Structure 1
Amino acid sequence: MRLRWAGAVLLSAAAYYVYLPLPSAVSEPWKLMLLDALFRGFMHVGDMAHTLGVCHRVHFLNRVVSWVEVIEARSCPGVHVSDITLGGVATRVFQPKGGRKLKRGVIYFHGGGWALGSGRMRSYDLLCRKMAEDLDAVIMSVDYRLAPEAVFPDQYHDALAASRAFLSARVLDRYSVDPERLCVSGDSAGGNLAAAVAQELGSDSSAKVKFKAQALIYPVLQALDFYTPSYQQNQAVPILYRPVMARFWLQYLGANASLEPLLLANNHSSLDQQSISAPTRSKLDWTALLPAERKRHFRPVIKETGSPGLVGEVPGLVDVRAAPLLADEGVLRRTPQAYVMTCEFDVLRDDGLMYARRLQDAGVAVTSDHYEDGFHACMVFAFLPMWSSVGQRSMDGYIRWLDENL
């Protein structure tokens, strides 16, 4: 009897920990709950290890990722896989066997808040294998440096160095890649890096080879407004919670974690912050940039007074290399045609939608691909054991766009 009671208590505790009220329209909510419970569990253990001085919370999470997810570079009948250094940055290359003599080429940056993950993770490895086979394309998945050891602009510099090497005649010739059919792509923080690289190289008049396309998957693009409608609507929707995104930003920008409450209150973007100009604010004015169905009943949160000097203390907040949404229209105009994927139940939804609108206003051809039942990072859950319907559909849509436009 005691064992039964103990079992019932444990089961109840587990159910309480796993269960989370979710929007009814989100894809396969129970799978998302289980995934979130697993992720929250590891984060809690990491926080405990950090507090006790055992190791940094990020190091703990990356050790778990390495143990569970990172796999060796194994070739298969259709794709040759190898690990190389590209522009001084560790990179995994996926080369399709057979097919066209000249291949399409994609350089890809993984997500993880500029702090977690690897292009050698099973989910990214499988994604890039599928892309290589389905597109008959050479895919280069870049392992840029990670926080906390590396902070902005280190990750950006790694992404840019790898991209410049990718576009070089030496690399294109070596891997038989067509210089007219090249794309820069990434998801989440990797989408941030892809957008920043597209801006920099699009404006580089000395570059002999340019990207034909940029494909941004639920990208994070700004850190001045943590009260966009999607941040308000989805602040408690897994797997990317509003406070976690603020924490990732502070880690990336090399700022003190104690500033998190100020960011979450929008104190850092208050009207008395003289270093944030009116033109800068207009570039993320979601009241003008978002369609009515996304704004809904939400209202802007703009503080008259906030934390003086905070932007001066963390200048990356208004650096376009860290926040590509803040780029001038002339810079956006010189970027290649774009694919921007967004998910309804994602705090970053409006970052992507605003960027797509700004690109369109600058004259760039944009495909905005929105998933009404999608959640953050869904595309990397297109494979077992955490397969999801929206993950499969979003991955198929992404690869289809590349096939039709690259």
Structure 2
Amino acid sequence: MILLAILLPFGSFLFLGVSVWVFMKEVLTVHVYPAITHPVRIHMMHYLFELVITWGNLLEKMKICSMPKFFRFVQDRVVSKKNPGVLVEDLRFGTIPVRLFQPKAASCIPRRGIIFYHGGGCAFGGLDCYHNICSFLARETDSVLLSVGYRKLPDHHHPVAFRDCLSASIHFLKTLNTYGVDPSRVVVCGESVGAGAVAMVSQVLLGRQDLPQLRAQVLIYPALQLINFQLPSYRQNQDVPFLSRKFLMTLVCKNLAIDLSWQDTMLKGSCIHPDAWKKYRKWLSSDNIPQRFRRQESQPQFPAPFNEAAYLETKHVLDAELSPLLADDKTIAQLPEAFLVSCEHDVLRDDVLLYKKRLEDQGVPVTWHHVEDGFHGCILLFDKIFSFPCAREVMDSTVSYIKGI
């Protein structure tokens, strides 16, 4: 009882202190552009997001629970799963958990298939968190959808997540008849880091004679390169909600098992070997970004003077599995048609613009949808009480495109 009497006031004081500290950080450092609809609402949602992350970091420091696991625990508890019009089945493809969504209505012909990879920086998200998004896509497009629950931080680092997405996709493609899927209409779809996996899987599966060819790739604000963090969108949106540039760098370093002390060096590009930049600048330079997205601002020197020690620690960022924008022209030219979604207030906006240019330069058909008031991660809020018009716009445009396949 004495111990309880001591711990209760201490716990209350700690909770209040953390809440106030996160609130002050939200007010002083987070930038919400006036163009974003419901700015107060987004501040509220981001404050709760940061509060959960902060508590997760505290629990991790006390060696009680890792931050990603705590965040996923909270994230999954706030999702009220809905299955109107679809049948849902949890399966395992080997060690990989997957979730199958099938329309309840009978169909006399094989349906379209969707393979979906969720976002979350390889730290957050999961089958439950993205359940309603997948249910909505399957129902509205009348498709059989497979959601892949790839393994994540802190127990698994790159390339585990990508390999899980690839393995689950191959298994599904080999058994399409089992699920009533038309092999000529399989779409691979993803959000954020999951959209990056879409690009990587699409490249790896090219030329596989034993598998049906993918009909289309759908990338919703994807992460497609880990080299140029000085693109206009990375600087313009470095303090926006849900994915600041600093938070992005932290997730990248943790997933690649790179010490966080190298963040600033990576940010400036000092770890990029001059020969590598000479080869890749034609694809990754800010000069490839349309003028209307660049604004009137000074362009920092990139890359900064070469640091060999940083290069040796981080050179795996040049792997095409991590940066699919680095694939050669021959590979890009063979890719299936693409639907790309970009959000104006997103650090990853320019990754989309660079990928769009690469595809179009090689003659690959591209449908591009740009959301002027959009922000990173918005689709997770499309069916919530505190929803945003941009979230619905992204979902509706994605459904419209897939239905045309």
TM-score by length of 1: 0.89
Residue of structure 2 in register with 1:236 after alignment: 239
Q: CA deviation at 1:56?
A: 2.4
Residue of structure 2 in register with 1:297 after alignment: 296
Output the CA distance in 2 between the equivalents of 1:387 and 1:284.
34
| 1:395 is aligned to 2:398 | no
Residue of structure 1 in register with 2:356 after alignment: 356
Q: CA deviation at 1:386?
A: 2.7
Matches within 5 A, 1:2-401: 16=24, 19=27, 20-69=30-79, 76=84, 78-86=85-93, 88-100=95-107, 101-121=109-129, 124-168=130-174, 171-202=175-206, 204-269=207-272, 273-274=273-274, 276-287=276-287, 289-298=288-297, 299-401=299-401
Residue of structure 2 in register with 1:5 after alignment: none
Output the CA distance in 2 between the equivalents of 1:43 and 1:212.
38
Q: How many residue pairs align between the two structures?
A: 385
Unpaired runs of at least 5, structure 1 = 1-8
SS at match of 2:401: helix
| 1:60-87 alpha-carbon deviations (Å, 9 max, x no partner) | 222222333385xx754x2110101235
Output the CA distance in 2 between the equivalents of 1:353 and 1:109.
21
Unpaired runs of at least 5, structure 2 = 1-16
Output the CA distance in 2 between the equivalents of 1:378 and 1:355.
21
SS at match of 2:325: helix
SS at match of 1:386: coil
| 1:225-255 alpha-carbon deviations (Å, 9 max, x no partner) | 1111001100011110001101111122122
Output the CA distance in 2 between the equivalents of 1:105 and 1:112.
23
SS at match of 2:284: coil
Output the CA distance in 1 between the equivalents of 2:335 and 2:210.
13
Output the CA distance in 1 between the equivalents of 2:224 and 2:194.
10
Query: How high is the sequence identity, in percent, across the aligned residues?
Result: 31
Residue of structure 1 in register with 2:8 after alignment: none
Query: Given the superposition, is the C-alpha separation of residues 103 and 362 from structure 1 closer, same or farther in structure 2, using an over 3 Å criterion?
Result: same
Is the contact made by 1:325 and 1:355 (CA closer than 8 Å) also made in structure 2?
yes
Is the contact made by 2:115 and 2:145 (CA closer than 8 Å) also made in structure 1?
yes
Amino acid at match of 1:37: Y
Is the contact made by 1:89 and 1:158 (CA closer than 8 Å) also made in structure 2?
yes
RMSD (Å), alpha carbons: 2.2
Q: CA deviation at 1:18?
A: 5.1
Output the CA distance in 2 between the equivalents of 1:351 and 1:112.
17
Query: Given the superposition, is the C-alpha separation of residues 210 and 12 from structure 1 closer, same or farther in structure 2, using an over 3 Å criterion?
Result: closer
Query: Given the superposition, is the C-alpha separation of residues 177 and 144 from structure 1 closer, same or farther in structure 2, using an over 3 Å criterion?
Result: same
Query: Given the superposition, is the C-alpha separation of residues 11 and 192 from structure 1 closer, same or farther in structure 2, using an over 3 Å criterion?
Result: closer
TM-score by length of 2: 0.89
Amino acid at match of 1:52: M
SS at match of 2:308: coil
SS at match of 2:145: strand
